Amino acid sequence: MPVVKMHLTAAAASLHAEACETGGKLPANVERVAHLVDDALREADREATTAARGQPPEDWASP
């Protein structure tokens, strides 16, 4: 997950820089992407309540 968060953080920084250059008036599609990136970062920071992959198959070799 750290790699995903790193890429999302880079995208957020890039979008922030673009917003600063345009005086805070981003095109609607770019603003939607910025919100999606923010949502993804918040989701990445949440603690997982269960394993996302579930249990391994019964015939899976034990370590």
d(CA 63, CA 49): 24
* The pLDDT value given to residue 47: 75
* Interval 28-43: pLDDT, tens: 999 999 999 999 999 9
Calculate mean pLDDT across residues 31-58: 84
Give me 43's structure tokens. Answer: 């989701």
* The pLDDT value given to residue 31: 93
pLDDT at 51 over 70: no
pTM for this entry: 0.67
Give me 26's structure tokens. Answer: 């981003």
